[in-house]
Structure formats: structure tokens, C-alpha cells
Amino acid sequence: MKRLVLTITCPDRVGIVAGVTGFIASLGGWVLEAAQHGDLDTGRFFQRIEVLADSLPFGPSEFALRFAPLAEELDLTWRLSDTDVPKQVVVLASRQDHCLADLLYRWRSGDLPCAIPLVISNHTDLAPLVEAAGIPFAHVPVVAGDTASAFEEICARFEDVGGDVMVLARYMQIVPPEVCERYAGRIINIHHSFLPSFIGARPYHQAHARGVKLIGATCHYATADLDAGPIIEQDTARISHAEGPEQLVALGRDIERAVLARGLRWHLEDRVLLNGTRTVVFP
């Protein structure tokens, strides 16, 4: 069932909901799902509305054209997505395959509503896994001290395939700040820790050394501040003194897979809106 998804971010004020829903109603639009949030701390308003496309007298281009004057009047930052047009997901990975393999399985099974036109890696280890799925694989090595050149190629390949979102599926390289800024809100990372605790490398070993009783993983947008971007999703598992670092790593892989998949799916469904250093995630 084809739907149009309208997302809105703007300064909060009286009349936004009435204006937007009134516009949709004036077209005979059938609202299937609606969610909104007003943030008293930031004074920002967030809204997500799904409309049955067949209930409208025209397509998304004409809808956008007619909605633009209202959006300007209400000072809306908005986006309109067509669920019949899958977002293009470019996955970056290194040598560990658990997150990539899980995404490929969910993509093949239809659980992730997207296309995956390309997988990029700084190693060749995962090429057989990717090629077996019928997806092009690109090896872009990263030379120590020259990350910029590698990311110039990565960005060029991302643009060539019409990439909408870049997913770091345990891609063990730091994304340069200028790339994070260029694709703000479009680079999704999985960090194998319940951020903000234990940032950087070997977080499970850090957690074990501190004797924590919960370990977790965090799906977040990549920013220039390492492991400090707006959080999309998190989850945890309870552990005890009996588990060593390697057992924590094994348990953590399961959490990482699930958290990354959920965060990516919500992004693909336009359920995640940026609110400064935080996010608004509509269920």
C-alpha cells in the first residue's frame, strides 16, 4: 500500500497541527498514522504523518508544490517521502561480518525497506559474503595518515549510486569531520558500547575492567565528535562477574546486530528527527 510520509521540524507555535492536517484534509487525504512532539526545552516541534497515496488526487510532486506555501508560512523544515521509492543504503564494513551479514539477511527477507546498491570495505575479507548476495563490492583501502583520500573515493562512490544513507556496520575507521558535516543525519554508526560510557576502542574490555553488570550497544548518527552523535537506539544485556572479555564480546555481537537493524529501519521509515544533539524517534 503506497504511502506518503511527511516529516516536519519547526519552531513550536499554535496552529501547526491544524494547518498541516487541514491542508491534507482539504485534498481528501486519508491519514493512516500521525505522531507529534513539542519539546519545551528547545521550543521545537516535530511531526510525522503517513497519508494513503491513493486518497490524494495527485502524486507527491504536486503535493509538495501545493504544500510549499503553507510550509513557508509556518516556517517548516519538511521532507516528503514516497514509500514506493526505496532509499539507497551504502554499507561500510571492515573485517567483522556479524552486522553486515545481519543487514543483508534482513534486506533479502524484506525486513529493511531499502535498496543496497554497494558495500564498501577497507579490506577484501567480506567480498565473498557481499557478492553472494548479488551486491557490488568495492575495496577502498585506507592508508595510514591519508584517510582523506580514501573518503574522497567513498563519497564519490556514494554519490554515484545515489546514496541516501551510509551505514557503518563495524567499519573500523574514523570518518573525517568534513564528511560527517556533509552528510549530517545520513551516516549511521553502531558502537559496541552503551554510550556515553566506554567510547573508542575495545569497550567490552573497558567494561570488564570496571566490573559493570550491564553491557550494551548504541546506534547513533556519526558526527565530528567521536562516538558522541545523536542516539537513535540502544539496548543492553545483563552480565555477571563470571563472564570474561571474550564472552562479553560474543554477547555484544547479538545486541549490536539488533540495535543497528532497528535504528536503520526507523531511519528508513522517516521515524527519526534530529533535535540538536538528541533525536525524536516516533514509534
* 8 Å CB contact between 200 and 220: no
* 8 Å CB contact between 81 and 4: yes
Count other C-beta atoms under 10 Å from residue 267's C-beta: 25
pLDDT for 220-233, tens place per residue?
Answer: 999 998 878 999 99
Residues of the chain with CATH 3.30.70.260: 3-82
Count other C-beta atoms under 10 Å from residue 250's C-beta: 12
Residues of the chain with CATH 3.40.50.170: 87-281
Alpha helices, DSSP H, located in the chain: 16-26, 60-74, 98-109, 127-132, 147-160, 177-182, 203-210, 245-268
Q: 83: closest CA among 250, 234, 283, 265?
A: 265
Task: Please report, in angstroms and rounded to a whole number, the separation of the first and last CA atoms in the chain.
Answer: 19
Task: Specify the CATH architecture of the domain 87-281.
Answer: 3-Layer(aba) Sandwich (3.40)
Tell me what pLDDT residue 7 has. Answer: 98
Q: Is 270 a catalytic residue?
A: no
pLDDT for 93-141, tens place per residue?
Answer: 999 999 999 999 999 999 999 999 999 999 999 999 999 999 999 999 9
Phi/psi of residue 127, nearest 5 degrees: -55, -45
Tell me what pLDDT residue 204 has. Answer: 63
Tell me what pLDDT residue 40 has. Answer: 95
CA dihedral 271, 190, 279, 89 (to 10 degrees): -40
* 47: Cα separation from own chain's centroid: 18
Residue 54 is given by DSSP the state: G
Q: 89: closest CA among 186, 6, 177, 178?
A: 186
* 8 Å CB contact between 154 and 120: yes
Tell me which of 97, 227, 235, 270 is the catalytic residue.
227
* Superfamily designation of domain 3-82: ACT domain (3.30.70.260)
Give the pLDDT of the chain (283 residues) as one tens digit per residue: 899 999 999 999 999 999 999 999 999 999 999 999 999 999 999 999 999 999 999 999 999 999 999 999 999 999 999 999 999 999 999 999 999 999 999 999 999 999 999 999 999 999 999 999 999 999 999 998 889 999 999 999 999 999 999 999 999 999 999 999 999 999 999 988 755 566 666 776 776 677 777 778 999 999 998 878 999 999 988 887 777 777 777 888 999 999 999 999 999 999 999 999 999 999 8
Tell me what pLDDT residue 199 has. Answer: 66
HSE toward the beta carbon, residue 26, CA cutoff 13 A: 10
HSE toward the beta carbon, residue 223, CA cutoff 13 A: 14
Helix (H, G, I), strand (E, B) or coil at 170: coil
